[in-house]
Amino acid sequence: MDFRRRRTLSTRGAAAAAAAGLLFTGCSAGASDPTAASMPARAVPAALKPYYEQTLSWRACGDAGFECATLKAPLDYAKPGTGRDLRLAVSRKKAPGTGRRLGSLLVNPGGPGGSAIGYLQSYAAVGYPARVRARYDMVAMDPRGVAGSEPVTCLSDKQMDAFTQTDQTPDAPVETGRLVAAYKKFARGCATRSGKILGHVSTVESARDMDLLRAALGDKRLSYVGASYGTFLGAAYADLYPRRVGRLVLDGALDPALSAERMNRDQTAGFETAFTAFAKDCVRRDGCPLGTRTVAAARDRLGAFFARLDSHPVRTGESRKLGESLATMGVIAAMYDETAWPQLRTALRSAMRGDGGGLLNLADLYYERDTDGSYANLMYANPAVNCLDLPPAFRTPAQVEKAVPAFEKASPVFGETLAWAALNCAYWPVPPTGKPHPLHAKGAAPIVVVGTTRDPATPYPWARALATQLSSATLLTYEGDGHTAYGRGSRCVDTAINTYLLTGRPPARHKRCP
């Protein structure tokens, strides 16, 4: 559930956009691995020793002093050493400082499906505070199935274009049938193109890969900053290897105890909260495309606009037209970062006048569609991980229809669309391996969980829940808008996190930041 993008919605939104939440299938949660749980800090099963003892061969890559390497990991941790291994892409930028190094700082921007290496090289290794970068080697690894690490693929670019335009608010049985057929075609494509890896891209397996990387880097403990879905990846690691936890920052947290249906519904409410904040700002401005009266009136006007697009798409300046589905995703994309609101106002104003190009551009940012029409693998890795981590939110269209009122109560604007979007895992070609359950990480060093009060993609109650579950966690609250908090302009948040990363001292309990 959460993104990642190198192409940003706004200048100040770079960090947030690289670490946002993708609700395409709902956030991942709930994984287990009894073979790794409670493993003593130095215990490594004999079959895994070759993986733990491997040496990374670094080579120069990219710009500005980056190095890259490949980490070998077993495809199936239950059958290591059988020759069925994965090659996982790793990158780092070594600490330039002359002071005492603190080891490696692994970063992950979320998704699932966001490229950690892309995030490192475009933002983290240059955008994190200089005093943090001076003490840590900045490191990233694309999780299995993502970007440079044997990426999951499912559709051709033209097929993906058609998929993103599929009507996600079916008004008749024939439209429901088309949506189900689209989900089935997507799932078949994943099985055909990525069948080897599709059953082994769970969060818990990626967390185990992180421990292989920790060992290969020569670190006794793992220090890590994870955003959005990256918080679940970090919490899963802490629960598997509590004695190997160094300094963990989990920003924009997920609640791993929730079912897929509950997560999707909560996230729907989160986008409604973000839209309310946007609408309050918009109606106070001259020329607001949603009117200048009340939030309720703005909500009604946007809903009526979506309804018109359902039957009468508008031109965009290219062969694709802007229908309801793409327009909805365009608006949702701008909810991740309040600095994108001016762009959204302009795009809505133009679309309501018959030019949907601006909203289409926002939707393309959400889907990681490049200007040449090619898609990154985010939209394929995302359901591959989510559908493996949790049982599906819904198994039949009838279940969705029954749930739509609850979703519409959570968000009159987005509810119906997001209820139907949660159906896709019903047709996934491999069964789920995880289930929702709390993560405790008993015995771990202090962990910092960060929550934003009006976060659209990972609602604030999730951060409270994860901080309560993790035995050593401290909750840091950012009272603001947008997805995630670190590096988004709050000096209070940044100071608290930087202090923790550099000294190991977590913020005061229940600390709140403006």
Q: What is the pTM of this model?
A: 0.93
Q: 202, 239, 337, 483: which is the annotated catalytic residue?
A: 483
Query: Active-site residue 471, yes or no?
Result: no
Q: Is residue 218 part of a domain?
A: yes
Distance, in Å, from the CA atom of 383 to the CA atom of 176, rounded to the nearest integer, reads 20
Distance, in Å, from the CA atom of 24 to the CA atom of 367, rounded to the nearest integer, reads 9
| pLDDT (tens digit per residue) in 30-55 | 444 444 444 444 578 999 999 999 99
Give the pLDDT score at 63.
73
Confidence check: pLDDT of 69 > 80 = yes
Distance, in Å, from the CA atom of 361 to the CA atom of 370, rounded to the nearest integer, reads 10
pLDDT average, residue stretch 106-110: 97
* DSSP per residue, 220-258: SSEEEEEETHHHHHHHHHHHH-GGGEEEEEEES---TTS
| pLDDT (tens digit per residue) in 411-452 | 999 999 999 999 999 999 999 999 999 999 999 999 999 999
Amino acid at 493: V
Query: Residue 292 — very low, low, confident or very high, per pLDDT cuts 50/70/90?
Result: confident
Q: 82 or 246: which carries more pLDDT confidence?
A: 246
Q: Structurally, how many domains does the chain consist of? A: 1
Percent of the chain at pLDDT > 90 equals: 89
Give the pLDDT score at 13.
38
Give the pLDDT score at 42.
54
Half-sphere exposure of 142 (CA within 13 A, CB side): 26
pLDDT average, residue stretch 216-238: 98
| pLDDT (tens digit per residue) in 345-390 | 999 999 999 999 999 999 999 999 999 999 999 999 999 999 999 9
Q: Is residue 375 part of a domain?
A: no
pLDDT average, residue stretch 121-144: 96
Q: Is residue 69 part of a domain?
A: yes
Q: Is residue 480 part of a domain?
A: yes
Buried b (16+ CB within 10 A) or exposed e, 436-466: bebbbbeebbbbbbbbbebbbbbbbbbbbbb
Distance, in Å, from the CA atom of 155 to the CA atom of 450, rounded to the nearest integer, reads 36
Q: 219, 251, 266, 455: which is the annotated catalytic residue?
A: 455
Question: Which CATH number fits the domain that encloses residue 86?
Answer: 3.40.50.1820
Q: Is residue 333 part of a domain?
A: no
Distance, in Å, from the CA atom of 207 to the CA atom of 141, rounded to the nearest integer, reads 11
Q: Is residue 110 part of a domain?
A: yes
Query: Active-site residue 483, yes or no?
Result: yes
Query: Active-site residue 455, yes or no?
Result: yes
Query: Residue 83 — very low, low, confident or very high, per pLDDT cuts 50/70/90?
Result: confident
Q: Which domain holds residue 252?
A: 32-148+198-259+435-513
Q: What is the chain's mean pLDDT, rounded?
A: 92
Q: 104, 228, 325, 411: which is the annotated catalytic residue?
A: 228
